[in-house]
């Protein structure tokens, strides 16, 4: 199967760089998935994006886009991908629609108005299409950058911290739109330092730190592996109980921490609370933040950079 993106043993040392920015990273983006590169500032996320877009050349290792080494055919790569850079670029003189027309021209698309209007509508920019960039709000500028990345209908979309500095309501709109693009078959690589964003949006994540991947896998699987399940049992009357899982007892409420793979029925029969005393049972699953903290405490490399 030809994968949208295959990165193998990528290393990057900037010419004037003191440290190696990327230290032997390998991961793939599968067709139609949202993959998240997650990590703190300086982890190496933007450097990886820059080697995919051929803005930077790898020191060693290989980056393939739809089966093609990006250093061998940069033009092929550029046609397949759309990229939204971390920094907002200001081109104040032109209006929104003109910018998108010029940008389409860069891909050799002369009559691209239909696609441009489709994208403008999708990003709630259509009514602002005659505005100059300097008249746009921060959120609109960010959306314009996404529109630019989409004019040529790329098969792989790279989003470098798409919601940094974006307010919450717009952030949710963007997440919805990114899911829609996935639904239409696009493959997406995004970088973020927001754990919640990665948890909500990404099918798989790679956690990167100090230029190395600390963890790579299915988002839900990572959460399951590195978090604990909490079960809160509300009783009709206080009860004294001995259980290896019990961590807190407060009047009629008991809190248990239970291994992820233990079924609720098995747990209830093990703790042996009389059923007629149970008023309510709440299960609280862990989240990516909890998994991340666990990973940090387990992993010296991750810990040292934070
Ligand atoms: N053009 C550059 N020249 C030299 N060093 C760089 C350059 N760009 C980034 N770096 C360094 O590489 C490391 C990774 O940076 P970057 O890829 O921007 O991380 P992130 O996007 O995860 O915040 C950092 O130590 C940064 O200072
Ligand atoms: Mg960055």
**CATH code 3.40.50.300 for 5-218:** yes
Start-end ranges of CATH 3.40.50.300 in the chain?
5-218
Res 40: pLDDT: 86
pLDDT, tens only, 141-185 = 888 999 999 999 999 999 999 887 777 887 888 889 899 999 999
Distance from the alpha carbon of residue 183 to the mean position of ligand 1, in angstroms: 32
Query: Using CB atoms within 10 A of its CB, is residue 171 exposed (0-12), middle (13-18) or buried (19+)?
Result: buried
Q: To test ligand 1's pocket by mutation, which of 11, 18, 21, 193 has the most ligand atoms within 8 angstroms of CB? A: 21
Checking if the pLDDT of 282 tops 80, the result is: yes
**Residues near ligand 2 ion, CB 5 Å cutoff:** 45-46, 86
Rounded CA separation 108/256 (Å): 62
Tens digits of residue pLDDT in 102-147: 889 888 888 899 999 999 998 889 999 999 988 888 888 888 999 9
* 80-106 per-position pLDDT tens digit: 999 998 877 666 678 999 999 988 988
* Residues 6+ positions from 107 with CB-CB distance below 8 Å: 78, 79, 151, 152
Neighbours of 82 (CB within 10 A): 25
To test ligand 1's pocket by mutation, which of 12, 41, 46, 47 has the most ligand atoms within 8 angstroms of CB? 47
CA distance 255 to 252: 10
């Amino acid at each position: 199967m030809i994968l949208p993106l295959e990165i193998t043993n990528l290393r990057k040392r900037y010419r004037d760089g003191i440290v190696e920015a990327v230290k032997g990273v390998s991961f793939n983006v599968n067709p139609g998935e949202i993959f998240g590169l997650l990590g703190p500032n300086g982890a190496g996320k933007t450097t990886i994006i820059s080697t995919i877009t051929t803005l930077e050349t790898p020191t060693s290792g290989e980056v393939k886009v739809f089966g093609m080494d990006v250093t061998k055919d940069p033009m092929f790569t550029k046609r397949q991908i759309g990229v939204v850079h971390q920094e907002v670029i200001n081109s104040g003189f032109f209006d929104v629609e003109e910018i998108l027309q010029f940008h389409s021209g860069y891909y050799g698309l002369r009559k691209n108005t239909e696609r441009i209007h489709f994208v403008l509508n999708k990003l709630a920019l259509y009514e602002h299409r005659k505005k100059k960039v300097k008249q746009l709000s921060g959120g609109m500028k960010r959306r314009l950058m996404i529109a630019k990345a989409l004019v040529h209908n790329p098969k792989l979309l790279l989003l470098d911290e798409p919601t940094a500095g974006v307010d919450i309501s717009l952030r949710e709109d963007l997440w919805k739109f990114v899911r829609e693009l996935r639904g239409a078959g696009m493959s997406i690589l995004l970088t973020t330092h927001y754990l919640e964003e990665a948890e909500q949006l990404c099918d798989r994540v790679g956690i990167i730190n100090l230029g190395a991947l600390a963890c790579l896998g299915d988002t839900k699987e990572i959460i399951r592996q590195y978090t604990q399940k909490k079960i809160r049992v509300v009783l009709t009357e206080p009860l004294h109980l001995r259980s290896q899982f019990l961590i807190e007892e407060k009047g009629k409420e008991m809190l248990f921490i239970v291994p992820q793979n233990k079924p609720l029925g098995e747990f209830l029969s093990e703790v042996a609370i009389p059923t007629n005393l149970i008023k309510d049972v709440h299960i609280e699953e862990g989240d990516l933040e909890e998994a991340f903290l666990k990973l940090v405490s387990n992993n010296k490399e991750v810990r040292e950079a934070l």
